[in-house]
Amino acid sequence: MTSASAPAPVAAPGVARPGHLMLDAEALYAELLRGVRALREPHTHLAGVASGGAWLAQRLQRDLGLPGDAGVLSSAMHRDDFARRGLASSAQTTLPFDVNGADILVLDDVLYTGRTIRAVLNELFDYGRPARVRLAVLVDRGGRELPVAADFAAARVTLPATQSLALARTESGAFHFDVKEV
């Protein structure tokens, strides 16, 4: 289900210094904004996965000039590793719109195994039955363990399984990526 307008897969550039990937998160955000404009319909609601996806959804809501607030979806209660992780210190789910019959565009920073998206979908359906749910991500890094695909990905990168990739923000709100060894 990858959008034809999504960029072709690329190998991840090297790490510039420990913890920072040489991948321009702000440029990828501009590409994501373009992709979301193309996917969005007049009654589409944005909801971001806590925390990086929620940051993206909030900024997209503002940059697209949409009224109200974007939703926030927490995966904490539906994770398949809940017994090991417990309740993470992530945000609570907040959906400032009626989920029943809604067209919802879920935003996330990095799509990897698909397990977080599975958990978020379970959380979303706890609130009602949407008419349609689509997924847009800043980075698709492959490595899927579940049959989950983004309708739009601003970039595709390849990283070793020993590294994690996450969106981070500076105090001024600018986006960058953090890479950590796991």
- pTM (2 d.p.): 0.86
The per-residue pLDDT of the chain, averaged, comes to 87
Tens digit of each residue's pLDDT (9 = 90 or more) over 26-65 = 999 999 999 999 999 999 999 999 989 999 999 999 999 9
Q: Which amino acid is at 68?
A: G
Nearest CA among 77, 61, 170 for reference residue 125? 77
pLDDT digits (tens, 9 = 90+) for 146-180: 999 999 999 999 999 999 999 999 999 999 999 99
CA 47, CA 50: separation in Å to the nearest integer? 9
Please tell me whether residue 89 adopts helix, strand or coil conformation: coil
